[in-house]
């Protein structure tokens, strides 16, 4: 009987805090999406300047802030 009295408030707490949220629900906040994560320049002649642009998309519902970029 004591377990029942412990379980009911716990169940109600989970309902209030959304413990039973579906994994299919959309997460709030920024969500970065890259069309490509890696680009291979293949062989490059020494001294030649090469460039490549990565397209970055924000598929979230809040602004995406990119604070640091690291070269590989």
Mean pLDDT over the full length of the chain: 77
Asked if residue 72 is part of any domain, the answer here is no
Structural domain containing residue 36? 24-41+52-64
Burial status of residue 58 (CB atoms within 10 A of its CB: 0-12, 13-18, 19 or more): middle
Asked if residue 58 is part of any domain, the answer here is yes
Asked if residue 29 is part of any domain, the answer here is yes
Alpha-carbon span 48 to 29, nearest angstrom = 40
Q: Which pLDDT belongs to residue 4?
A: 43
Asked if residue 60 is part of any domain, the answer here is yes
Confidence band for 29, pLDDT divided at 50, 70 and 90 = very high
Distance of CA 56 to the CA centre of its chain: 13
Alpha-carbon span 18 to 12, nearest angstrom = 10
* Model confidence, pTM: 0.49
Q: Which pLDDT belongs to residue 69?
A: 84
Share of the chain above pLDDT 70, in %: 61
Domain tally, the chain: 1
Asked if residue 34 is part of any domain, the answer here is yes
**Chain segment 49-72, per-residue pLDDT in tens:** 999 998 999 999 999 999 998 876
């Amino acid at each position: 009987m004591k377990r029942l009295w412990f379980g009911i408030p716990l169940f109600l707490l989970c309902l209030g805090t959304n413990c039973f949220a579906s994994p299919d629900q959309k997460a709030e906040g920024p969500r970065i999406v890259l069309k490509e994560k890696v680009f291979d320049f293949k062989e490059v002649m020494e001294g030649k300047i090469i460039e490549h642009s990565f397209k970055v998309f924000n598929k979230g519902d809040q602004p995406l802030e990119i604070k640091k970029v690291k070269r590989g």
